[in-house]
A and B are shown apart, each in its own frame.
Chain A
Amino acid sequence: MHRLSDSNTWPDQYGDILYRHAYFRLRDAMQAEEMVQETFLAALKSSDRFAGKSSEKTWLIGILKHKIVDHIRKAVRERPHEDEHIIFDPLEQESFDGRGHWQIDVKQWTHPDASLEQQQFWQTLEACVARLPQRLATLFILREIDNLDSETICQEMALSSTNNLWTMLSRMRMRLRQCLDQQWFGKLGH
């Protein structure tokens, strides 16, 4: 039988960590706090199922992530959405001319790997994700962070075809690339 630590210490031990994950995924402080609370309460209820295979922290993060995917699924059902990113994308208009050639300069990123050592780089990337339109940000999390397969993502996000998914993923990446280019690599100065 694996034992969990005293649950009264959880808010101090894991509160911030869980909150940061939740905030990154939901981009709403109130909702993020609620998710942290729900996670702790769910963990209390199922504490007998903690197998000790992972650390307590990993276990709690796992519960949080499940809760958030449930939350996203509900939000998608309740709030009908239009994927305007599929029909018209201003960044794409700006990037290519009428014949589909680049009309912006795609600059080389110098020593991109060196950036990984800097905490600021990660904060910039996080900020770039936060700037994505809501649907594309959700897509980013399901695909790039949670590594879900395309079929599952289409279901969770109520996308009618995988072609729409490929288009939205491409636009999401184009935006992230541009944001990092402007907010990080373009500012490094060389």
Chain B
Amino acid sequence: MITCKQATQLISEKLDRDLGLWQRLSLKFHLFLCRYCRKYARQLDFLRSVCTQLDQHIECNDQHSLSPESKQKLKAAIKNES
């Protein structure tokens, strides 16, 4: 039987590619028996689904903003070019 360490690697890989038949079966069997890895798998699935939404939220993070001076600089650069 595969170890938890190997299982976590397969849980991650499953998000990026199709596993081979043997890998799929070993993982399935491991998850059936191991509740820690089951939780881990659920959490990685959750991570994947939130990451697809992260980009929209980045835009709203007002902890990071341009200073008024930087905006002036940008305006000057645009004026220069147009």
Q: Which residues on A are within 8 Å of B, measured CB to CB? A: 7-8, 10-12, 15-17, 19-21, 23-24, 33, 36-37, 40-41, 44-45, 92, 95-96, 99-102, 106-109, 112, 116, 119, 122-123, 125-126, 140, 143-145, 150, 165-167, 169-170, 173-174, 176-177, 180-181
Q: Can you list 17 residue pairs at the A/B interface with Cβ under 8 Å? A: A11-B75, A16-B66, A24-B58, A41-B81, A101-B5, A102-B4, A102-B37, A109-B42, A122-B61, A126-B57, A145-B54, A145-B55, A169-B12, A170-B9, A173-B47, A177-B47, A180-B47
Bound-state Cα–Cα, A190 to B3, Å: 31
Partner of B59, one of A10, A21, A109, A180: A21
In the complex, chain A residues whose CB is within 8 Å of the CB of B58: 20-21, 24, 122, 126
Structural contact, A119 and B57, CB atoms closer than 8 A: yes
Residue in B16, B55, B57, B71 whose beta carbon sits within 8 Å of that of A169 in the complex: B16
Q: Does B39 contact A (CB under 8 A)?
A: yes
Give the 4 A-B residue pairs with the shortest CB-CB distance, closest first.
A100-B3, A170-B12, A100-B5, A122-B57
Most buried by B among A15, A99, A102, A143: A102
Contact across chains for B12 and A36 when beta carbons are under 8 A apart: no
The listed residue (B3, B13, B37, B63) touching A166 by CB distance below 8 A is B13
Bound-complex Cα distance A33 to B4 (A): 44
A10–B73 CA distance with the chains assembled, in angstroms: 12
Please determine whether A150 and B12 come into contact, CB atoms closer than 8 angstroms: no
Q: In the assembled complex, which residues on chain B have CB atoms less than 8 Å from the CB atom of A20?
A: 58-59, 61, 64-65
> Given the complex of chains A and B, what is the CA–CA distance between A96 and B77 in angstroms?
54
- Residues of chain A contacted by B37 (CB below 8 angstroms): 102, 106
Per the bound structure, the CA–CA distance linking A11 and B47 in Å amounts to 33
Set of chain A residues within 8 Å of B36, measured between Cβ atoms? 102, 106
Q: Add 15 more A-B contacts to A36-B74, A92-B5 (CB < 8 A).
A: A8-B78, A15-B70, A15-B71, A24-B64, A36-B66, A37-B74, A40-B78, A100-B5, A107-B39, A119-B60, A123-B63, A126-B61, A166-B9, A169-B15, A174-B12
Q: In the bound complex, do residue A100 and residue B4 qualify as a contact, i.e. CB atoms below 8 Å apart? A: yes
Q: Looking at the complex, which one of B3, B40, B51, B63 makes contact with A99 (CB distance below 8 Å)?
A: B3
A8 contacts B59, CB within 8 Å? no
Closest to B13 in A: A166
